[in-house]
């Protein structure tokens, strides 16, 4: 009995062992078959689930202002979808991913939340669209046509139903990168544009390789639900560096608004303005506007950098510098301009040079300095002819020595370069070329090059190339600092520079730009008016059109801080006066920068020192105005020569002084655009943090609360 039991156990043992051995043999055989026979087939199947060398895009760097406000940044935006297809359950049975009862429970609060957040449809419309897509088992139902930000996406993922996750609801999102400009069109041609992932112009293009970084690559393997990165195969991406520009948003805003206002007033074709820091060459503001419709101007071309224009009378300063520096004439030397018409003859040929005031009988006998003050074509032409009529090459050589024809790399794609004709290389050279050059014709100079020359005059003769980018930043730290290139250490002799600066001061104090005299800031510079050539038809064909400009610097003292050029093309319905059009823009910029505290000191004209930057209250009855000022505790003063004029003494009129001048309260910026909100808050000494875009809907802390200079306010825009 016992022996029989042992036999059964042994039999079972051998039977199990045999089965195990058999199974092992099968596994070994199958392994051998897979490894040696089916290996290639299985490798192909494995490779089919792997996507190789997939590009991992690098994050493009930001473009920043001089004060590190973001001018251009890459953001990710998303579109939202539901996948309502049936799925396989644990028993391989096709069932609804989203159970009908679950949808019924949450569809109303979900529709309401989506309507309130996205706002493109009512809750009822959302409910109907979701229900219809669910019934159709739509695999890619787009919840809304609107793109949403990353922060919005995080909020939406907490909405009723969606919060249950993709496996339950089928909700998913798809993103794309978008280049965003928080300040809209500010300096847009200079900042540049990204289209279809490619930089097109401006700083975006000039610094493209620095901004875009280096893409990474990796292999991805498909799992049941998604592709997973195979870490061992990854080559990490290198995100792009940030680029800090020299643009100051406050100055940029001031310059843009001053130029736009004048373009509207004179109904011009286009205009440009550049503001440059004298000592550093940093371009603090640059704007270019072209008329595209009635009272509508846009930035479509960087005229200040790319336009080849005849500078007109702003070139007279260069001509005067040449003749003075070479001892051909002195500032006090007299030249007879006659009745405003000069018949210039060589052999049998005669051409007439006209002064702008010939209808008034001309200037008669004037000094070279007065020829600059009054912008006399005849006076400057006679001075140049005196020294160079028989040797025009010497004049061109002198201009080159002064840096007039120098070409500098502005690091901006599409920039133009000066063209100064030479007798040996200019086919059209004739006996009139030299005298006409003296007052700005036959030469072509981009506006920013004219500014570069005048900036050198303000900078004690040292010529600097304009700078648009000051720093390359990596992870918030300066990787590379960019200083201005020195084009010329000295453009002329020191004494010549003294005389030229006196002349440019005289243009404003007693010459063609007297309207630029300001009680707040002194300005020096030169007006320029040039007829616009009609190409082969010349200057007189059809309607005569003009380009007016003013180039100079301010404050006009031993150490000017800023230089500026304004060029306006084809003003309509007004006399083409460079002082009244372009000069007024420069004056407006200089005065507003004064009011915003951009000068460490502000030299005032003697007659108005007591005003202390006092804006005038226009109109009204003086005693009533005084009563209102008293009730608001606004300090004021009256001007002795005209007691009807009342001037506020507050530096920033919109921040009223309280009984305790040390207490400052946060102004309200609700409803304002970003530029206006920044202007109000930052000039009060508040640091601003910005969320979103559009108009201000919320500010924290609230308006009216007490603040100290340097405190932070966060504004939210929608």
Residues 315, 400 within the same domain: yes
pLDDT digits 0-9 by tens, 114-131: 999 998 999 999 999 999
Q: Phi-psi category of 152—alpha, beta or left, where left has phi over 0 and alpha has psi -120 to 50?
A: alpha
Structural contact between residues 716 and 691, judged by C-beta atoms closer than 8 angstroms: yes
Write out the two tokens for 318: 């260069």
Q: Which residues pair with 245 in a beta bridge?
A: 469
Q: Which helix (H) or strand (E) holds 200?
A: strand 198-201
Residues 131, 26 within the same domain: no
Q: What CATH number does the domain containing 257 carry?
A: 3.40.710.10
**pLDDT band, very low/low/confident/very high, at 688 (cuts 50, 70, 90):** confident
DSSP calls for 560-574: --EEEEEEEE---SS
Structure-token match 């009988």, residue found: 361
Q: Which of 606, 627, 647 is the last residue before a domain boundary?
A: 606
Whether residue 650 is contained in a domain is answered as no
Q: Which helix (H) or strand (E) holds 106?
A: helix 100-118
Q: Which helix (H) or strand (E) holds 488?
A: strand 486-488
**pLDDT band, very low/low/confident/very high, at 638 (cuts 50, 70, 90):** low
Q: Which of 347, 346, 434 is nearest to 382 (CA)?
A: 434
Residues 396, 523 within the same domain: yes
Residues 31, 122 within the same domain: no
Whether residue 628 is contained in a domain is answered as no
User: pLDDT value at position 617?
Assistant: 53
Residues 306, 229 within the same domain: no
Number of CB atoms found within 10 A of residue 120's CB: 12
> Lowest-confidence range among 21-30, 265-274, 331-340?
21-30
Report the alpha-carbon distance of residue 144 to residue 452 in Å, rounded. 52
**pLDDT band, very low/low/confident/very high, at 655 (cuts 50, 70, 90):** very low
Write out the two tokens for 80: 């939202």
What's the first-to-final CA gap in the chain, in angstroms?
94
Report the alpha-carbon distance of residue 451 to residue 503 in Å, rounded. 17
Report the alpha-carbon distance of residue 463 to residue 491 in Å, rounded. 7
Q: What CATH number does the domain containing 125 carry?
A: 3.90.1310.10
**pLDDT band, very low/low/confident/very high, at 30 (cuts 50, 70, 90):** confident
Q: Which of 201, 371, 377 is nearest to 299 (CA)?
A: 201
User: pLDDT value at position 43?
Assistant: 61
Whether residue 185 is contained in a domain is answered as yes
Residues 316, 401 within the same domain: yes
Structure-token match 């025009």, residue found: 392
For 230, phi and psi rounded to 5 degrees? -90, 105
DSSP calls for 527-554: EEEEEPP-GGG-SSSSS--EEEEEEEEE
Q: What CATH number does the domain containing 715 carry?
A: 3.30.10.20
Report the alpha-carbon distance of residue 693 to residue 244 in Å, rounded. 21
Beta strand spans in 153-204 (E): 171-180, 193-195, 198-201
Whether residue 146 is contained in a domain is answered as yes
Whether residue 72 is contained in a domain is answered as yes
Report the alpha-carbon distance of residue 431 to residue 343 in Å, rounded. 13
Residues 133, 13 within the same domain: no
Structural contact between residues 524 and 504, judged by C-beta atoms closer than 8 angstroms: yes
Domain that holds residue 270: 249-606
Residues 465, 594 within the same domain: yes
Structural contact between residues 315 and 306, judged by C-beta atoms closer than 8 angstroms: no
pLDDT digits 0-9 by tens, 454-492: 999 999 999 999 999 999 999 889 999 999 999 999 999
Q: Which of 559, 587, 606 is the last residue before a domain boundary?
A: 606
Give the burial class of 351: count Cβ atoms within 10 A of its Cβ; 0-12 exposed, 13-18 middle, 19 or more buried: middle
pLDDT digits 0-9 by tens, 555-603: 999 999 999 999 999 998 888 899 999 999 999 999 999 988 898 764 4
User: pLDDT value at position 2?
Assistant: 64
Whether residue 332 is contained in a domain is answered as yes
Give whole-number Cα distances, 659 to 311, 628, 638, 656, in Å: 54, 16, 22, 10
Report the alpha-carbon distance of residue 140 to residue 157 in Å, rounded. 17
Residues 79, 159 within the same domain: yes
Whether residue 634 is contained in a domain is answered as no
Report the alpha-carbon distance of residue 699 to residue 670 in Å, rounded. 7
Q: Which helix (H) or strand (E) holds 60?
A: none
DSSP calls for 108-144: HHHHHHHHHHH-SS-HHHHHHHHHHHHHTT-SSEES-
pTM over 0.75? The answer is: no
Question: For the residues 688-704, what does the mean pLDDT come to?
Answer: 75
Residues 258, 383 within the same domain: yes
Looking from the CA of 703 toward its CB, the CA atoms found within 13 Å total 13
Q: What is the DSSP letter of 226?
A: S
Residues 6, 69 within the same domain: no
Whether residue 619 is contained in a domain is answered as no
Tally of structural domains, the chain: 4
Question: For the residues 89-117, what does the mean pLDDT come to?
Answer: 84
Residues 236, 271 within the same domain: no
**pLDDT band, very low/low/confident/very high, at 653 (cuts 50, 70, 90):** very low
Q: What's the chain's length in residues? A: 718
Report the alpha-carbon distance of residue 584 to residue 47 in Å, rounded. 71
Cα Dmax for the chain? 151
- Specify which of 159-173, 225-239, 282-296, 437-451 reaches the highest per-range mean pLDDT: 437-451
Structural contact between residues 709 and 201, judged by C-beta atoms closer than 8 angstroms: no
């Amino acid at each position: 009995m016992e022996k029989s039991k042992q036999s059964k156990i042994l039999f079972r043992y051998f039977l199990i062992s045999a089965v195990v051995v058999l199974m092992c043999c099968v596994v070994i055989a199958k392994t051998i078959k897979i490894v040696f026979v089916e290996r290639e087939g299985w490798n192909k199947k494995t490779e089919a689930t792997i996507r190789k060398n997939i590009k991992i895009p690098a994050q493009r760097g930001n473009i920043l202002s001089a004060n590190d406000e973001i001018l251009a940044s890459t953001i990710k935006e998303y579109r939202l979808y539901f996948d309502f297809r049936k799925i396989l359950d644990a028993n391989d049975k096709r069932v609804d991913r989203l159970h009908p009862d679950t949808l019924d429970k949450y569809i109303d609060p979900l529709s309401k939340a989506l309507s309130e957040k996205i706002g493109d449809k009512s809750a009822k419309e959302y409910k109907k669209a979701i229900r219809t897509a669910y019934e159709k088992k739509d695999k890619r139902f787009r919840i809304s046509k609107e793109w949403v930000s990353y922060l919005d996406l995080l909020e939406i993922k907490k909405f009723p139903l969606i919060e249950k996750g993709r496996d339950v609801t089928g909700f998913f999102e798809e993103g794309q990168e978008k280049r965003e400009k928080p300040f809209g069109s500010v300096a847009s041609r200079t900042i540049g544009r990204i289209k279809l992932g490619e930089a097109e112009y401006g700083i975006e293009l000039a610094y493209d390789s620095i901004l875009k970084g280096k893409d990474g690559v990796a292999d991805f393997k498909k799992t049941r639900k998604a592709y997973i990165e195979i870490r061992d195969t990854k080559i990490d991406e290198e995100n792009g560096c940030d680029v800090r520009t020299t643009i100051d948003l406050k100055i940029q805003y001031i310059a843009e608004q001053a130029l736009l206002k004048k373009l509207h007033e004179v109904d011009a074709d286009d205009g440009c303005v550049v503001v440059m820091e004298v000592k550093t060459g940093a371009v603090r503001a640059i704007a270019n506007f072209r008329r595209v419709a009635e009272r509508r101007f846009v930035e479509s071309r960087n005229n200040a950098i790319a336009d080849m224009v005849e500078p007109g009378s702003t070139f007279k300063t260069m001509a005067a510098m040449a003749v003075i520096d070479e001892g051909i004439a002195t500032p006090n030397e007299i030249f007879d301009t006659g009745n405003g018409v000069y018949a210039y003859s060589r052999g049998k040929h005669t051409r007439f040079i006209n002064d702008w005031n010939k209808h008034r009988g001309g200037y008669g006998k004037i000094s070279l300095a007065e020829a600059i003050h009054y912008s006399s074509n005849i006076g400057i032409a006679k001075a140049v002819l005196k020294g160079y009529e028989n040797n025009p090459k010497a004049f061109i050589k002198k201009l080159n020595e002064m840096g007039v024809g120098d070409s500098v790399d502005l690091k901006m794609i599409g920039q133009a370069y000066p063209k100064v004709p030479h007798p040996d290389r200019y086919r059209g050279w004739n006996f009139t070329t030299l005298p006409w050059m003296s007052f700005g014709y036959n030469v072509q100079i981009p506006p920013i090059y004219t500014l570069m020359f005048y900036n050198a005059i303000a900078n004690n003769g040292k010529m600097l190339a304009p700078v648009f980018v000051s720093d390359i930043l990596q992870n918030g730290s300066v990787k590379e600092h960019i200083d201005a290139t020195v084009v010329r250490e000295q453009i002329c002799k020191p004494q010549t520079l003294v005389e030229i600066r006196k002349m440019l001061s005289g243009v404003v104090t007693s010459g063609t730009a007297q309207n630029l005299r300001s009680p707040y800031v002194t300005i020096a510079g030169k007006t320029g008016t040039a007829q616009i050539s009609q190409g082969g038809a010349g200057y007189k064909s059809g309607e005569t059109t003009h380009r007016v400009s003013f180039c100079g610097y301010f404050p006009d003292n031993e150490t000017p801080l800023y230089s500026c050029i304004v060029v306006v093309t084809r003003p309509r319905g007004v006399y083409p006066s460079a002082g009244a059009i372009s000069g007024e823009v420069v004056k407006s910029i200089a005065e507003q920068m004064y009011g915003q505290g951009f000068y460490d000191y502000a030299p005032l004209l003697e007659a108005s020192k007591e005003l202390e930057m006092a804006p005038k209250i226009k109109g009204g009855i003086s005693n009533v105005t005084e009563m209102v000022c008293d009730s608001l505790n606004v300090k004021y003063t009256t001007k002795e020569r005209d007691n009807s004029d009342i001037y506020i003494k507050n530096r920033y009129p919109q921040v009223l002084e309280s009984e305790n001048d040390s207490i400052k309260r946060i102004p309200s910026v609700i409803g304002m655009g970003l530029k206006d909100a920044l202007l109000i808050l930052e000039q009060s000494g508040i640091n601003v943090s910005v969320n979103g875009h559009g108009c201000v809907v919320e500010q924290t802390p609230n308006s009216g609360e007490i603040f100290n200079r340097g405190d932070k306010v966060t504004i939210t825009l929608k």
